Amino acid sequence: MEQFLADLHAIDAGSVKYNEPLAAYTTWKIGGPADVLIIPNTQEQLVAVVQLLHRHGLRWTNLGRGSNMLVSDKGIRGVVIQPGEGFDYARFDGKFVHAGAAYSFIKLSVLAGKEGLTGLEFAGGIPGSVGGAVYMNAGANGSDVSHVFKSADIVLETGELVRFGAEEMSFSYRHSCLQERPGIVTGAVFELEEGDRKAIAASMAALKQRRLDTQPLKLPSAGSVFRNPPNDFAARLIQEAGLKGMRQGGAEVSTQHANFIVNTGQATAEDVLTLMATIQNTIEEKYGIRLVAEVLVVGER
């Protein structure tokens, strides 16, 4: 690591922070420090950083907006990479939307609607980045990224820059190939359809009101904690099992939405993990179903 850090200072890597607490970088507001947090602002900087890590045989953790991630209380050893301001862009070319990895997925859906383009309405309540949405094949309200995805530019773990289409991404429910083949999305292109601005706005307004009515948006969370099992809903199972409102330290199974765990003020990662394990064990005992976590758990335990 010492030689890597020395070599890191010799290249243009963007912003580099040491022993950086990650709680402020996650929507759960939970997480210990990263040994090294690198925030490249250009594709060239990102490629150089990943190539350097590859030469030194070092692994890294990719951090977007931290909306689907639980960082352990001890933090993350080694290097964490977060695409910076240079990846925070969006532009429209007819029915094609080009967006950087750091761009807000919610904001992108709103802008698309204003452009009279339909297809991204489902993203109006997904508080992650474009890069994270592609990585997880994020979805809601009966649709997901795979329905509108055209291509993505990706820096592989070797530092090679590639462009993947939908076939290469191997999308499935909350899954892409990047979950097995490490890589960092730098930007993506989505193909939408022309629609009626008023109809799109009305649809998005209705979805927003539904979220306000059913989701605990005033408290820090990571959205849905568990994937829906086949032909069922995780929230229904958790609610039916009587687990709404269960607390562990500062973490609570939301009383509004049973598949959300909220940070009531001083929750730790261990608080959340304890609740997650309790939920999984209870649902398995009652229904014979093992819920699979949708959130990514990273860091030293």
To the query of whether residue 252 is one of the catalytic residues in this protein, the response is: no
Query: Which residue of the set 121, 174, 176, 203 is catalytic?
Result: 174
> pTM (2 decimals)?
0.92
Annotated catalytic residue 203: no
**Class of residue 91 by CB neighbours under 10 A (exposed 0-12, middle 13-18, buried 19+):** exposed
Domain-wise residue ranges, the chain: 2-82, 88-199, 219-298
Average pLDDT of the segment spanning 5-25: 96
pLDDT beyond 90 at 126: no
Q: Residue 124: pLDDT above 90? A: no
Q: Given this model, what pLDDT does residue 286 score?
A: 97
- Separation of alpha carbons 4 and 214, rounded Å: 47
pLDDT of residue 205: 92
CATH of domain 2-82: 3.30.43.10
Catalytic residue among 129, 176, 224, 254: 224
Query: Would you place residue 127 in the very low, low, confident or very high pLDDT band (cuts 50, 70, 90)?
Result: confident
First to last CA, the chain: 21
Q: ∠188-189-195 over CA atoms, to 5°?
A: 135
For residues 238 and 52, what is the distance between their CA atoms, to the nearest angstrom? 45
% of the chain residues with pLDDT over 90: 92
What span, in angstroms and rounded, lies between the C-alpha atoms of 156 and 181? Answer: 8
Average pLDDT over residues 175-196: 96
Residue 227 three-state SS: coil
pLDDT score, position 140: 86
204-212: Cβ within 8 A, 24+ apart:
204/109, 204/110, 204/113, 204/121, 204/124, 207/121, 207/122, 207/124, 207/125, 207/141, 208/124, 208/125, 211/124, 211/125
d(CA 88, CA 75): 26
Instruction: Evaluate if residue 39 carries a pLDDT over 90.
Output: yes
Residue 1 has pLDDT above 90, yes or no: no
Please give the pLDDT value at position 33: 98
CATH fold of 219-298 = 3.90.78
DSSP line for 103-161: SBHHHHHHHHHHTTEES-GGGGG--SBHHHHHHHT-EETTEEGGGTEEEEEEEETTS-E
Give the pLDDT mean for 228-252: 97
Q: Is the pLDDT of residue 131 over 90?
A: yes
pLDDT bucket at 122, cuts 50 / 70 / 90: very high
Q: Which residue has the tokens 């009515």?
A: 213
Collect all residues with Cβ–Cβ distance below 8 Å to 297 and sequence separation of at least 6.
69, 70, 72, 269, 273
Confidence at residue 211, expressed as pLDDT on a 0 to 100 scale:
87
pLDDT, the chain, mean: 96
**Whether 294 is catalytic:** yes
Tens digit of pLDDT for each residue in 93-111? Answer: 999 999 999 999 999 999 9
Stretch 61-88: mean pLDDT, rounded?
Answer: 95
CATH node for 88-199: 3.30.465.10
Q: Closest by alpha carbon to 229, among 273, 169, 280, 180? A: 280
Instruction: Count the alpha carbons within 13 Å of 126 in the hemisphere toward its beta carbon.
Output: 27
Closest-CA residue to 123 (of 33, 44, 221, 200): 200
The pLDDT score that the predictor gives to residue 141 is: 84
